[in-house]
């Protein structure tokens, strides 16, 4: 695997954020794990209360080399949408290519499309070779089953809202992609890929649910049962079987957790 070709670096060399905490409150959230359990800067009760960091909203944004992923340690929700719109606007106005990553709320996505339609189309950054889109959406959808989604991502939108958001962005002519990282229901990954593929212009990324070990500490019986189900679904044999089914499919891409298993 190439150096830096892992984690979020597979998607973008740069990132931007403007908020602390996230109302989606995903059980597996690495940003929550860092703030709450590692550095103890927030309590578990604080994490879902999104606090906009005004200094990050107000600061100037310049053109960076390479794509910027926004956000990475929170999401874009009705609570922080105004702040996110300011930051997104500054990033785009500075000439950056922005990868908007979200478990999407339909109304938030619609406003981004309305306000930033002028950044939708392909543009040339170098007349000879380099062509880019200014804005690409990547929606995290790790399962079709709302019971599974609402357990692991309790504050995030339902499957139907995420799919409707993807469809809306696609129909408005923006570039679209999906992250099924983490896959929360590998038994039904074929159904997810087939249901969402018609609205994807770029890629569907597949990845495992990492770092399950710490989640087991203090897990109640239902969480343990869910962790076991996830583990059974992402054994090396299961991952290799998924890889065999989609290795020739140009729309499917593999996160580092899968690349390691299948040796690419």
In the complex, the residues that contact ligand SF4 under the rule CB under 6 A are 22, 24-26, 29, 31-32, 73-75, 103, 153
Minimum distance between the CB of residue 147 and ligand SF4, rounded to whole angstroms? 17
Minimum distance between the CB of residue 152 and ligand SF4, rounded to whole angstroms? 9
Report angle CA 85, 140, 206 to the nearest 5 degrees: 140
CB nearer to ligand SF4: pick between 74 and 138? 74
Minimum distance between the CB of residue 26 and ligand SF4, rounded to whole angstroms? 3
CB nearer to ligand SF4: pick between 149 and 204? 149
Minimum distance between the CB of residue 125 and ligand SF4, rounded to whole angstroms? 30
CB nearer to ligand SF4: pick between 119 and 257? 257
Report angle CA 140, 12, 108 to the nearest 5 degrees: 40
CB nearer to ligand SF4: pick between 26 and 243? 26
CB 113 within 8 A of CB 168: yes
CB nearer to ligand SF4: pick between 157 and 233? 157
Minimum distance between the CB of residue 72 and ligand SF4, rounded to whole angstroms? 8
CB nearer to ligand SF4: pick between 26 and 141? 26
CB nearer to ligand SF4: pick between 84 and 243? 84
Minimum distance between the CB of residue 21 and ligand SF4, rounded to whole angstroms? 8
> Which 3-state string (H, E, C) describes the chain?
CCCCCCHHHHCCCEECCCEECCCCCCCCCHHHHHHHHHCCCCCCCCCCCCEECHHHHHCCCCCCCCCEEECCCCCCCCCCHHHHHHHHHHHHHCCCCEEEEECCCHHHHHHHHHHCHHHCCEEECCCCCCEEECEEEEEECCCCCHHHHHHHCCCCCCHHHHHHHHHHHHHCCCEEEEEECCCCCHHHHHHHHHHHHHHCCCCEEECCCCCHHHHHCCCCHHHHHHHHHHHHHCCHHHHHHHHHHHCCCCCEEECHHHHHHHCC
Minimum distance between the CB of residue 168 and ligand SF4, rounded to whole angstroms? 19
């Amino acid at each position: 695997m190439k150096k830096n070709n892992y984690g979020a670096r597979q998607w973008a060399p740069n990132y931007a954020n403007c908020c602390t905490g996230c109302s989606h409150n995903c059980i597996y959230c690495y940003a929550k794990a860092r703030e709450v359990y590692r550095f103890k800067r927030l309590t578990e009760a604080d994490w879902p209360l999104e606090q906009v960091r005004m200094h990050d909203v107000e600061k100037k944004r310049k053109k960076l080399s390479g794509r910027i992923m926004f956000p990475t340690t929170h999401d874009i929700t009705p609570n922080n949408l105004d702040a996110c719109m300011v930051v997104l606007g500054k990033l785009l106005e500075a000439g950056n290519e922005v990868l908007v990553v979200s478990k999407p709320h339909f109304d938030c996505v619609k406003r981004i499309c309305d306000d930033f339609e002028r950044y939708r189309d392909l543009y040339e950054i170098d007349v000879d070779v380099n062509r880019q889109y200014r804005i690409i959406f990547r929606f995290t959808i790790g399962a079709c089953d709302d019971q599974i989604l609402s357990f692991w991502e309790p504050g995030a939108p339902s499957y139907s809202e995420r799919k409707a958001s993807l469809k809306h962005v696609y129909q408005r002519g923006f570039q679209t992609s999906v992250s099924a990282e983490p896959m929360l229901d590998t038994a039904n990954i074929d159904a997810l890929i087939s249901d969402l593929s018609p609205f994807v212009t770029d890629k569907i990324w597949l990845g495992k649910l990492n770092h399950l070990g710490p989640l087991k500490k203090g897990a109640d019986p239902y969480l343990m049962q869910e962790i076991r189900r996830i583990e059974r679904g992402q054994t090396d044999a299961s991952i290799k079987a998924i890889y065999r089914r989609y290795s020739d499919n140009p729309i499917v891409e593999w996160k580092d957790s899968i690349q390691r298993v299948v040796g690419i």
